[in-house]
Each structure stands twice: as structure tokens, then as C-alpha cells.
């Protein structure tokens, strides 16, 4: 080991021969959001109004560009989260103790820093911290915007210290920071003043209500902006060749999990059988079927909360949703591949179907229709809210402003009803058996037109009620898109639907809905939804729904797609 005296001599000699040149910094420019070598701070919506000392912080490069850590695995560059800078504090680069100049700056922790420090310039320290945080998950208490700034200061050993943390960083910007302008002060303290007035004045109620109203508007606008950005960056919408028929399917739809899937009455392989039959019957060719992409995490976050999606990493929660208890015994890596992935592929199909329908007039996703799942909760063999996702993508990508959901599954569609409970852009017609799952009375209040068909309802009565409901819908709402959830669990003999609708009745039901859309020139998306009669044996019947397959620009030919024959051939 080198003697201490020799080390000191070499260190001093090194600093005499190597000197870090500090070039002049540009002036601070709040208009262009340029704050060279500054700590910057901005208030958080709602939180800072209640506690003005709490906010979001970032640190700036020598050219004034802001870096801030506002979410897992990502450091913003020149895109400061939560709004423009309100306070700033410019730091002195000469107080940084870079390894090549430790002796010159008399670093309090010189030997420790020369051993572990890697930053040789201000920007190098920031870049090193950025790379480090890009592999970290955001945590409100241990890994956040303040800890990112502290990490940057520690790498540069700012002010001779490597003990920067969330608390002293917050204190530094709070006590020594400068306000950008008077408006910044008003932005932070206005709602605090209003809160004080609310507690002391008789007219506080209306003021508080107004403040709350505007707070909700601002929060809603921010969330809508994030949602829109996610939709526009998604790859689920893509151009479909004209040679393809508007039928969407992937072999990845089918769920096969060591036979365990048979413990649930839902037929988890019906989608493949549908397409196999269509191909075998010569209705379509295999190469004419549109294959969708799998919905990824960012796609699902358009509607779902991060907490809900994280809950699916627990196999027990997945088992509860699909109602197959043994699934809880398997590790998540297996459940994700065997169970979650097929659902995500079907979600991609439902989302794409709206784009195809807009261009062709109609589209069928041979899957999807998970109408029991909402943004925050799954259930009833429904893991993702594909109907809600399909509609939100259509709002943004297709520039439409009104959608009608026609849900004719035997069960109430409580998932999409919760998601669109306060959204006037969506009209819901739900025709269901009120005597079976899910018994969601709160969601029923969100239905625009509720049609109840009790257990034992037969074909003639069912079709009469449907005709009346469609007539009411036609005079009540003028949609630009129809999403039709065409569950076949209304079939006579289905163990869960408990209705007595004939196979021919199902075909006539589907045809009525398609004619309703066609007569009004409204694009229609059909989702196949539920079918629980796995073990039903019945003779095949030539009952059909009409698929309008393009033959030319002026002529269309109706092709008999024997969907019901597929459902009966289990």
C-alpha cells in the first residue's frame, strides 16, 4: 500500500497540473425555461395549495435544461412535470469537489470522494444520476424527485458534502430559493388564502365549492392529456390491407392451461373454433383474417389504474377474476403467459376493431366483450376493460364524440357502466337478466336504457323487447359508433344465463342489431363476449348473422357466417 505522505504529494501535484475550466453560464431565462446550474421547484396541484412548502423539484444542466425524476424508470429532460418553474436557486460550480481538484477545493471528505466519486464536471454528475435513476422505480418516500437531486449533488460532492438527502435539498430550495415572478407566488398561495377565508367567513361554502371545482377541472385536464399521449403513441392502431375481411382474431386468444381452464364453465377456446369453422365452411380464408397486436402496459394504462394492473402480478388476484382457484398456486410468470397474455391480445383486437369498422362500416372481434371489468376492478372472467379501452381510443384516434353500447349478453355489463357513469358521450343500452350475476345495483343507475329479461324469457318476448329498445335508442341518441356486445349465453340451456332463447332467435337478434346500424350508416363493432354452454349437445342449424363483405365499391354481398353452428358444435 502507498504511504499516506506519498499519496498526499501525488494528489497535490496532480491538482496543480490538472485544472477544471469553468466557462461562463448563460443568464437565467424563465420565459425559455432555462436555469443554468439551478435547483428548480414548482407546486404540486392540490398538495401545494394545502401545504405550500411541498412541491416538485428538478436540477438543471449548465445549458439551463431541466432534469427531473417524475416516474419510474424515466428522467424528464426539458419537460418539467407539474408546470413551469416557480422558484429557483443557482448553485456555485466552484463549490463542487471533482476528483481532479480535491485539494484545491479542500473537500471535507476528500479521500472518500476520490475513491467513489465519478463526476468530473457538473453535467457529468447529472448524467450519471440520470442513468442511475432510469433503472429505479418511483417511490414517494425513498426514490423521488428530491432524492434524484440529492444524488446529483452527492456525485459532485457539492459544498464538500456527500450527505445530501431529501430533507436538506427541500430546505435549501425553500429557504434560499428565489421566486420567478409575482404570478408564481399567487399560484402557490392563492388557494391557501382561500382555505383560510373558508374557515373564517360565512360565504366560505361557495368559495370552497368553486375552488374544489376548478381543482378537479385542472386535475382532470392533466389526466386527459396523459391519456391522449398514451393513445397517440400506441401501436395497436395500424393500417389494414383491403384484401383482409373485417374479422379480427389471433390464435393467441385461446386459453389453454394444463386443462385447468375447464374448471370454469366459460369456453376459453371458443374463439379458435369460430374461425376454424368459418375457414372450413369457405366463408373466409385464413389469410383474410386480421391479426391484432397485444395490448402492452402503456396501452392498458389509458383506462386502468397502475394499482389495478400491479395487483394482477399476484396469482391469487388473477384466480379470483377468472374464478379458477387452482391458478393461485402457479407463479406469476406462468400465469402471465398462459392467462393474461390471451386477454391482452383480445384487448388489442377490440381496440383495432373500431378503426376497421370506421373504414369498412363493420368489424367483428372474435373475442373481447369483457364487460364486467372496469378501470379499477376485474371479475366474472373479465380481466381488462376492452370495451372502455376501445371507446377511448376511438374518441382520440377516430375523432368521434358519441358512442352507443348495445350490450345483449345475459349478464349486466357493470364494468363499462361504471367507467362511463358520468360521460354523456356514451349511451348504454343493456338488456340483461337481473336475477343473475353481478347484482351491481349501483352500476344499474348508470344505464341509459335498462331492459330486464327475467329467467325463463322466451324468444318471441325477447325479440319484441329488443325491437322496442332499439326504437327508443334511435330517437334518444345519435351515435357515430356502435359497440355491440353479442353474448350467446342467452341461449336456451345455458347454465348461467337462464334464458330460453332459441339458436334461431340469437341469429335474428344479431341481424336486428346489424340492420339497425346499417339503416343509419353507423359503423358497428361486434364483440363475441360470453358463452357458457360448453357441454350442450344440439343438432347444428343453419342460422346466420349477416356479414357484409365488400365485393366492390358499389356492391356488397351478404355472406352466411354460421356462428351459431360453431357454438353448437362443442
Q: Residues 274, 232: contact at Cβ < 8 Å?
A: no
Containing 71, the helix (H) or strand (E) segment is strand 66-71
Say which of 105, 372, 392, 411 is annotated catalytic: 372
SS3 state at 547: strand
H or E element: which one contains 506? Answer: helix 503-519
Quick one: DSSP state of residue 143? Answer: B
Cβ pair 296, 255 in contact under 8 A? no
CB crowding 205-228: b at 16 or more within 10 Å, else e: eeeeeebeeeeeeeeeeeeeeebe
Q: Which region, left, alpha or beta, applies to residue 61 given φ > 0 means left and ψ of -120 to 50 means alpha?
A: beta
Q: Closest by alpha carbon to 382, among 412, 403, 421? A: 412
Of the candidates 342, 320, 378, the residue with the CA atom closest to the CA atom of residue 269:
342
Could you give the residue ranges of the DSSP H alpha helices within 120-254? 122-133, 145-155, 166-176, 182-200, 204-233
C-alpha 250/C-alpha 233 separation (Å) is 23
Q: Is-contact 70 134, C-beta < 8 A?
A: no
* Distance of alpha carbon 138 from alpha carbon 68, whole angstroms: 12
Could you give the CA distance from residue 358 to residue 393 in angstroms, rounded to a whole number? 12
Q: Which helix (H) or strand (E) holds 388?
A: helix 386-397
Whether 372 is catalytic is: yes
- Judged on CB neighbours under 10 Å (0-12, 13-18, 19+), 270 is buried
- Residue 434 to residue 410: CA distance in whole angstroms: 9
Alpha-carbon distance of 145 to 166, in angstroms, equals: 9
The residue written with cell numbers 383491403 in the block is 242
State the pairing for strand pair 87-90/38-43: antiparallel
DSSP string, 427-491: EEEEEE-TTSTT--HHHHTT-SEEEE--TT-BHHHHHHHHHHHHHHHHHH---SEEEEE---TTB
Name the packing angle between helices 204-233 and 182-200 (round to 10°).
Answer: 130
Q: Which active-site residues does the annotation give? A: 372
Amino acid at each position: 500500500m502507498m504511504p499516506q505522505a506519498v499519496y498526499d504529494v501525488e494528489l497535490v501535484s496532480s491538482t496543480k497540473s490538472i485544472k477544471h475550466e469553468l466557462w461562463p453560464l448563460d443568464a437565467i431565462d424563465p420565459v425559455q425555461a432555462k436555469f443554468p446550474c439551478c435547483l428548480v421547484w414548482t407546486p404540486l396541484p392540490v398538495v401545494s395549495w394545502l401545504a405550500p412548502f411541498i412541491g416538485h423539484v428538478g436540477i438543471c444542466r449548465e445549458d439551463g435544461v431541466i432534469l427531473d425524476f417524475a416516474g419510474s424508470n424515466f428522467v424528464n429532460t426539458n419537460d418539467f412535470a407539474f408546470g413551469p418553474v416557480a422558484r429557483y436557486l443557482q448553485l456555485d460550480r466552484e463549490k463542487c469537489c471533482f476528483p481532479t481538484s480535491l485539494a484545491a477545493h479542500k473537500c471535507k471528505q476528500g479521500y472518500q470522494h476520490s475513491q467513489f466519486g465519478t463526476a468530473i464536471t457538473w453535467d457529468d454528475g447529472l448524467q450519471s444520476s440520470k442513468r442511475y435513476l432510469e433503472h429505479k422505480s418511483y417511490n414517494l418516500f425513498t426514490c423521488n424527485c428530491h432524492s434524484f437531486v440529492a444524488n446529483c449533488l452527492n456525485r459532485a460532492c457539492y459544498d464538500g458534502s456527500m450527505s445530501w438527502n431529501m430533507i436538506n435539498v427541500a430546505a435549501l430550495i425553500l429557504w434560499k430559493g428565489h421566486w420567478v415572478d409575482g404570478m408564481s407566488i399567487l399560484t402557490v398561495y392563492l388557494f391557501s388564502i382561500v382555505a383560510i377565508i373558508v374557515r373564517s367567513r360565512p360565504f366560505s361554502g361557495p368559495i370552497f365549492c368553486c375552488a374544489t371545482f376548478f381543482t378537479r377541472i385542472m386535475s382532470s385536464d392533466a389526466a386527459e392529456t396523459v391519456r391522449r399521449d398514451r393513445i397517440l403513441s400506441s401501436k395497436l392502431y395500424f393500417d389494414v390491407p383491403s384484401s383482409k375481411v373485417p374479422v379480427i382474431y389471433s390464435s393467441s386468444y385461446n386459453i389453454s392451461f394444463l386443462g385447468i381452464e375447464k374448471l370454469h364453465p366459460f369456453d376459453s377456446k371458443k374463439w379458435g373454433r369460430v374461425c376454424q369453422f368459418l375457414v372450413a365452411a369457405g366463408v373466409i380464408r385464413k389469410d383474410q383474417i386480421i391479426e391484432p397486436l397485444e395490448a402492452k402496459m402503456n396501452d392498458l394504462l389509458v383506462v386502468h389504474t397502475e394499482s389495478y394492473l400491479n395487483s394482477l402480478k399476484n396469482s391469487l388476484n388473477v384466480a379470483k377474476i377468472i374464478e379458477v382457484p387452482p391458478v393461485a398456486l402457479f407463479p406469476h410468470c406462468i400465469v402471465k403467459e398462459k392467462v393474461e397474455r390471451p386477454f391482452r391480445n383480445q384487448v388489442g383486437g377490440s381496440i383495432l376493431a373500431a378503426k376497421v369498422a370506421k373504414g369498412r362500416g363493420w368489424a367483428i372481434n372474435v373475442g373481447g366483450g369483457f364487460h364486467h371489468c372496469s378501470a379499477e376492478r376485474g371479475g366474472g372472467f373479465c380481466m381488462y376493460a376492452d370495451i372502455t379501452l376501445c371507446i377511448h381510443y376511438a374518441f382520440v384516434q377516430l375523432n368521434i364524440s358519441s358512442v352507443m353500447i348495445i350490450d345483449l349478453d345475459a349478464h349486466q355489463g357493470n364494468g363499462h357502466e361504471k367507467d362511463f357513469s358520468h360521460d354523456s358521450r356514451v349511451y348504454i343500452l343493456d338488456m340483461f337478466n337481473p336475477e343473475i350475476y353481478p347484482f351491481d345495483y349501483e352500476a344499474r343507475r348508470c344505464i341509459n336504457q335498462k331492459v330486464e329479461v327475467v329467467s325463463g324469457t322466451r324468444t318471441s318476448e325477447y325479440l319484441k323487447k329488443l325491437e322496442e329498445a332499439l326504437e327508443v335508442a334511435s330517437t334518444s341518441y345519435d351515435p357515430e359508433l356502435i359497440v355491440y356486445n353479442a353474448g350467446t349465453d342467452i341461449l336456451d340451456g345455458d347454465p348461467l344465463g337462464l334464458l330460453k332463447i332459441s339458436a334461431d332467435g340469437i341469429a335474428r337478434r344479431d341481424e336486428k342489431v346489424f340492420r339497425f346500424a346499417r339503416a343509419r350508416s353507423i359503423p358497428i363493432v361486434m364483440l363475441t363476449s360470453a358463452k357458457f354452454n360448453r357441454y350442450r349437445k344440439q343438432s347444428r342449424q343453419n342460422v346466420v348473422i349477416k356479414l357484409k363483405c365488400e365485393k366492390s365499391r358499389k356492391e356488397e354481398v351478404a355472406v352466411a357466417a354460421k356462428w351459431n353452428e360453431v357454438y353448437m358444435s362443442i
